[in-house]
A and B are shown apart, each in its own frame.
Chain A
């Protein structure tokens, strides 16, 4: 059998058909060149180990190194700044207020929980997370969100006692708001925390 290193590679990758394996192995056994290639590539992993204090050294550095904060996209802030610079703050605020209440009235049923009430509370999550955190406490709303998360196969990022936390991308937050009109979240990466069961 002539040298065929494509077949040797296929053997190494585990993609060589079983019927050809025996003849390729037999060739490797008799051909020093193919044998060297086969032995070398299959020995890539090696057996070297990091020193015993490796983890401790890494952790020493970790404990003095802060995590990077996720850059928040704040188009609204830039927008408001632009308005302020144009000295039309009053007009801007009134527009914002009227737009906000108008949207809610248009999309929410009269008895639906509303954003900005005790049901969905945005607050600075401080050092616990780099994402803006929105906490949902209304049980009906929580149940709807959980059901949607399940449908979308979005898994919980970390449980803290009875609470659940989900990191949502801007697209997921937008899709969630579309699915549950009573919910209005900013279309940006955020963390959503659900409490009551």
Chain B
């Protein structure tokens, strides 16, 4: 039995110390997924915490039919959708990227370029419905298979594919337009790209 399976079994039996190991192991991936779902650091922290709390409460029912990580990511997107619905009711609109907290590295120019790219990406993601964003992120960011997503969300694989396709189409439209805009005014990403992709 791996350490993780052991920790899951112990946490399932009510051991908080074992659950803490799981929080340590998954906090970054859960937080980053929350951040993409919500678009800002403050809400992402709240959603990530809710997701872990839901995992703790629901662990006794977790039967290992999916991977623990997949189950946890689904709890995360679920918590985010609930949160966004609540916030929409209270604030009247889904928050945009008010304060996307990014730890950009490199030169100031690279940091600025990275921040701009991340802002554009988050703005594009925010145009998707939370349900489409959920499927897009589970597939593209967490690499879950169509079957896994379908099982977790109780959807047919065909529905998963069509929602993913719609989400991609919308993101393609927005991002390629942005790309043309940046491309015509300045070669914003050329320096970084040469280094990153060795084209």
Contacts and interface: CB of A to CB of B under 8 A. Distances in A.
B86 interface: no
Interface in A138-197: 155-159, 167, 169
B184 to A, nearest CB: 7
B177 interface: yes
- Which of the four size classes fits the interface of chain A? 35 or more
A63 B199 CA distance: 51
Interface in B151-177: 168, 171-172, 175-177
Contact of B102 (A48, A50, A130): A48
Nearest to B105: A47
B53 A58 contact: yes
Interface in A1-18: 3, 5, 9, 12
B110 interface: no
A44 interface: yes
B178 A36 contact: yes
A33 B141 CA distance: 21
B14 A67 contact: yes
B109 interface: no
A111 interface: no
Given A25-B197, A67-B57, A70-B61, A35 B105 contact: no
B10 interface: yes
User: Most chain-A CB neighbours within 10 Å: which of B13, B36, B48, B183?
Assistant: B13
Interface SS of chain B: helix
B83 to A, nearest CB: 15
A162 to B, nearest CB: 15
B58 interface: yes
Interface in B137-159: 137, 140-141
Interface string B35-54: 11000010001001100110
A37 B172 contact: yes
B72 interface: no
Contacts of B19: 59, 62
A77 interface: no
B57 A48 contact: no
A118 B88 CA distance: 59
A51 B45 CA distance: 8
Given A50-B31, A55-B27, A158 B13 contact: yes
B180 interface: yes
A59 B49 CA distance: 9
B128 interface: no
Contacts of A127: 14
Contacts of A157: 9, 12-13
Interface of A: 3, 5, 9, 12, 25-26, 28-29, 31-37, 39-41, 43-51, 54-55, 57-59, 61-63, 65-70, 127-131, 155-159, 167, 169
25 contacts: A32-B180, A32-B183, A36-B117, A36-B120, A36-B179, A40-B124, A40-B171, A41-B171, A43-B117, A44-B140, A45-B141, A46-B35, A51-B45, A55-B20, A58-B23, A59-B19, A61-B53, A67-B56, A67-B58, A69-B60, A129-B14, A130-B60, A155-B1, A156-B1, A158-B13
